[in-house]
Amino acid sequence: MYALKMITVQVLLLSSGPCSAREPYFRSVPTTVKTSENDTVLLPCYVNDLGYNAVRWWWENQLVADSSNPGLVSSPRIKMLPNNTLQVSDLQAEDTGEYKCQIIRPEPWGPIQQVHAIEVLYPPSVTPIPEEGLLEVQLGEEVVMGCSASGVPHPIVTWSNEGEEMQLLDNRPILRFQAHTRHLAGLYQCIAINGVGSPATATIQLRILFPPEIEVERPWVHAAPGIRSELVCNVLADPDAKVIWLKNDVPVITSTRVVELSTKNKYTLLLRTVHPLDFGYFKCRAMNELGVNEKIIQLSGVANPAIFKNESGVPSETNYTLIWEVDSYSSIIEYNLLFQRYSPHTKGHEWTKLIIPADSSSPGPIHSKSYTLTGLSIATVYEAMILSRNRFGWSKPSAILRFGTEGADFGYDEHVLPTETKSEDNIIRAELAAILRQTNLGTSSQASFIFTMLFLIFRLWV
Ligand SMILES: *[C@@H]1O[C@H](CO)[C@@H](O)[C@H](O)[C@H]1NC(C)=O
Ligand SMILES: *[C@@H]1O[C@H](CO)[C@@H](O)[C@H](O)[C@H]1NC(C)=O
Ligand SMILES: *[C@@H]1O[C@H](CO)[C@@H](O)[C@H](O)[C@H]1NC(C)=O
Ligand SMILES: *[C@@H]1O[C@H](CO)[C@@H](O)[C@H](O)[C@H]1NC(C)=O
């Protein structure tokens, strides 16, 4: 019985509601107007005829126009037209927001309303942080730079460094990173884009202050008394470094003969004529507010390491002719030729040393020499290196030359040979050679014994 009563009440309510023919509805549709500054916008508010009492316009809950109160003027730029359209002219940034049209109906009906929106678009603009566009940090410090972007809609900010786009995971207005290397210094640019007008950019010059870094192209300089010689240190520092030259830790005394020169980052100690007492260790020392650094350059009379010429020998079955050149201002007294059978698998070195007198007639500074190794094994790969002695002592060893007697299998493309092996391996070998030089061939394996015998036989023959 109770349920039946409920239904009756509902039916009564429906029939007592407004007649469906008079049900009000908006003929205009809600709109969002996106437009630029200074424009005029018309927001419609058309309802099917229902004999309303008043039309009111609200902007963000503030009454801006009321047909029942024509005296209401909220802003000289806002006005309700006779057909209830709201006209907002000379648009300003603050006009952005929701506009609500409200129709006040006779009692007992409540108001009906429709909401529009205006978005006043502004092209992006951007100011760098720091504002001067210049940021200075010390090496290792944290870098915080940014770009404060404005515009409607709010722009997204992307970054580039020295013209290269930075691949960041997000579009962030603030960059924060550690200046762990001076290479991070340079020009940073942020680009703000919001789809209105042209993108806006701002630049920030990042300066990273760092202690001096020194690069020495030639840590070992060959010279001879009477010749001109230059010792060069390339110094990078910010702020600029003060560079001094030292010999045996005492500042070099400059004169007309010994001159300090500098251009940009290049610092040169020029010895117009080398004196025998000049040989030894020089140092360039660079300092700025952030630190001190120094590098050693040795001025030496010993010869430059020999260089094998790759026209070295037409391979024959058991002979091989090595040709090398040595750059030495002082004449070469003798050479040491170290050679051994090459094997990629054995670690030990069993160098055989040959003492080869130099041609006393060579005027220099380039001294060429050739030497034919005989009695070598057939189709075998060998390695060789050269040391040269002039009146100042023994040179550093040459790079190692790998060569083969006729038909030798190098284990890789023959056209890359003869090769000068480089890098650490070579340094280790060179050190080893130096030790060998001192111990005068302490090895006593059969192979080296045979080579030594061959050598002795050869010497007897010549
Ligand atoms: C709007 O008018 C102001 C004042 O005349 C002017 O400075 C501004 O550039 C104008 N804006 C646009 C988008 O034209
Ligand atoms: C309302 O009036 C304005 C100004 O007279 C006019 O521009 C607009 O088209 C009118 N709207 C309609 C739907 O008549
Ligand atoms: C010597 O070797 C170098 C580098 O491998 C090559 O460029 C040059 O042509 C060679 N010279 C001769 C004479 O084979
Ligand atoms: C190798 O050198 C020896 C001694 O100089 C010479 O007698 C011999 O003919 C040479 N052999 C070849 C194949 O060139």
Instruction: Take atom 1 of ligand 3 and give the residue whose Cα is closest.
Output: 310
Q: Ligand 2 pocket test: which of 48, 67, 83 has the largest number of ligand atoms within 8 Å of its C-beta?
A: 83
Decide yes or no: CATH 2.60.40.10 for domain 217-300.
yes
Ligand 4 centroid to Cα of residue 373, in Å, is 9
Which ligand 4 atom sits closest to the C-alpha of 319? 1
Per-residue tokens: 264 = 């940009």
What is the pLDDT, as a whole number, of residue 108? 84
d(CA 163, CA 187): 8
Domain ranges within the chain, ordered by starting residue: 26-122, 130-211, 217-300, 307-461
Around ligand 3, the residues with Cβ closer than 6 Å are 310-311
Say if ligand 2 is within 6 A of residue 81 CB.
Answer: yes
Comparing CA positions, the residue from 412, 420, 233 lying closest to residue 312 is: 420
Ligand nearest to the CA of 317: 4
Ligand nearest to the CA of 196: 1
Decide yes or no: CATH 2.40.30.110 for domain 130-211.
no
- Residues 58/99, Cβ–Cβ less than 8 Å: yes
Ligand 1 centroid to Cα of residue 120, in Å, is 12
What is the pLDDT, as a whole number, of residue 127? 96
Comparing CA positions, the residue from 190, 127, 126, 184 lying closest to residue 158 is: 190
What is the pLDDT, as a whole number, of residue 12? 33
Instruction: Take atom 2 of ligand 3 and give the residue whose Cα is closest.
Output: 310
Say if ligand 1 is within 6 A of residue 36 CB.
Answer: yes
What is the pLDDT, as a whole number, of residue 300? 94
pTM over 0.95: no
Per-residue tokens: 277 = 């007492």
Phi-psi region of 345 (alpha: psi -120 to 50; beta: other; left: phi over 0): alpha
Comparing CA positions, the residue from 366, 361, 364 lying closest to residue 325 is: 366
Instruction: Take atom 11 of ligand 1 and give the residue whose Cα is closest.
Output: 37
130-211 matches 307-461 in fold: yes
Comparing CA positions, the residue from 196, 39, 38 lying closest to residue 123 is: 196
Residue type, 423: S
| CATH code of the domain occupying 26-122 | 2.60.40.10
- In the chain (462 residues long), the average pLDDT of successive 10-residue segments reads 36 38 77 93 86 88 91 91 94 93 87 93 95 95 94 92 86 90 93 94 96 94 94 96 95 95 95 94 96 96 91 75 92 94 74 90 85 90 92 93 83 45 42 38 38 43 41
Return the DSSP state at 223. Answer: -
The HSE-up count of residue 158 (CA atoms within 13 Å, CB side) is 11
Kindly report the CATH class assigned to 307-461. Answer: mainly beta
What is the pLDDT, as a whole number, of residue 363? 79
Ligand 3 centroid to Cα of residue 408, in Å, is 20
The number of helices, as runs of H, and strands, as runs of E, in the chain is: 3, 32
